């Protein structure tokens, strides 16, 4: 069987772009996400275009039981995962701490931190048993610098940064590599999710500069994943040119708000 990549949040954006890129490079794929119809459509496309073998697992990473049951029930051959891409993540709301939605907070914490942990625990156990593997966590520029009204989202991405470092320390003796990828603004469904489906407000996020696209980040992930086994890329920060300095990070289309942060 070809090398295997497991990609969470593969139904759109960076996850979908990674699926296309890794399929092109000859990987078999385990694709996960909440929307089964999108997963099946993507799997059929990749099989037709690249003759890629694809396993589809529809579940929400926030649900520990769903994660465990779906992954544990995979046939043994699919548990020889070479690369885990922890891409599933989101932001909801953009409010100061005193008026933020607790429901939004819990959704971000459960997805960005706990969901990543649930998947990583299962797959890292396989990797330790197999004696090989590479975990790639999608962090964010928001996990390196906080911004106004980003509070809980930033906290979750700071946690991803810390977890990546902790995983690297824990798994080093097993020959398992760990990489954190920290993108800046990426034009995907991310802002629509953040603003609960408000497409006009989401569109304003990218006004006045050229954001990254999903393929830009997927290619950065592939760069890290394709290094020889003796090379570990600990972390990479990739931003639009407009976000290349801290003074530009905080520019906003709305006075007093910072809506330019993405993934």
49/244: higher pLDDT:
49
State residue 211 phi and psi, 5-degree precision. -80, 170
What pLDDT, on the 0 to 100 scale, is given for residue 249?
53
- Of 227, 240, 232, 131, the closest CA to residue 183 belongs to 240
Q: Which parts of the chain fold into alpha helices (H)?
A: 13-24, 36-50, 64-72, 102-108, 116-130, 151-171, 190-194, 199-204, 214-225, 246-249
pLDDT band at 57; cut points 50, 70, 90:
very high
Give the Cβ contact number of residue 24 at 10 Å: 13
**Does residue 27 carry a catalytic annotation?**
no
Residues 215, 238: Cα–Cα separation, whole Å? 12
32/207: higher pLDDT:
32
**Mean pLDDT throughout 18-43?**
98
What pLDDT, on the 0 to 100 scale, is given for residue 49?
98
Bridge partner residues of 236 (DSSP):
181
- 164-168 long-range contacts (CB < 8 A, ≥24 apart) are 164/137, 164/139, 164/235, 167/120, 167/124, 167/135, 167/137, 168/232, 168/234
Contact 52, 29 (CB under 8 A): yes
User: Poorest-confidence range of 36-45, 168-177, 207-216?
Assistant: 207-216
Across the chain, mean pLDDT equals 91
pLDDT over 80 (residue 253):
no
Give the Cβ contact number of residue 232 at 10 Å: 14
- Exactly one of 27, 118, 147, 153 is catalytic; which is it? 153
What pLDDT, on the 0 to 100 scale, is given for residue 256?
36
Residues 43, 96: Cα–Cα separation, whole Å? 40
pLDDT band at 193; cut points 50, 70, 90:
low
* pLDDT tens digits, 106-147: 999 999 999 999 999 999 999 999 999 999 999 999 999 999
pLDDT over 60 (residue 259):
no
Residues 246, 263: Cα–Cα separation, whole Å? 17
Work out the widest C-alpha separation in the chain, in whole angstroms: 54
pLDDT band at 178; cut points 50, 70, 90:
very high
pTM: 0.92
**Mean pLDDT throughout 24-29?**
98
pLDDT band at 261; cut points 50, 70, 90:
very low
Angle, CA of 129, 16 and 241, to the nearest 5°:
105
State residue 55 phi and psi, 5-degree precision. -110, 135
């Amino acid at each position: 069987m070809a090398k295997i990549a497991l990609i969470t949040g593969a139904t759109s954006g960076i996850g979908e772009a990674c699926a296309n890129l890794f399929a092109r490079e000859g990987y078999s794929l385990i694709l996960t996400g909440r929307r089964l119809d999108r997963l099946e459509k993507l799997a059929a496309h990749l099989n037709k275009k690249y003759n890629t073998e694809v396993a589809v697992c529809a579940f929400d990473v926030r649900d520990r039981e769903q994660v465990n049951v779906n992954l544990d029930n995979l046939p043994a051959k699919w548990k020889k995962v070479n690369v885990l891409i922890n891409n599933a993540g989101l932001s909801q709301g953009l409010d100061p701490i005193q008026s933020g939605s607790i429901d939004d907070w819990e959704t971000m914490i459960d997805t960005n931190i706990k969901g990543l942990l649930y998947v990583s625990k299962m797959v890292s156990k396989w990797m330790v048993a197999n004696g090989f593997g590479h975990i790639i966590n999608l962090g964010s520029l928001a996990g390196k610098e906080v911004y106004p009204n980003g509070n809980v989202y930033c906290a979750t991405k700071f946690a991803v940064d810390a977890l990546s470092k902790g995983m690297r320390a824990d798994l080093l003796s097993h020959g398992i590599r760990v990489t954190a990828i920290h993108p800046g603004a990426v034009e995907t469904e991310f802002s629509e999710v953040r603003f609960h489906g408000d497409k006009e407000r989401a569109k304003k996020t990218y006004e006045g500069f050229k954001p990254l696209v999903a393929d830009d980040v997927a290619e950065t992930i592939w760069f890290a994943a394709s290094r020889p086994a003796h090379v570990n890329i600990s972390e990479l920060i990739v931003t639009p040119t407009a976000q290349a300095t801290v003074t530009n990070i905080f520019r906003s289309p709305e006075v007093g708000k910072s809506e330019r942060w993405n993934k």
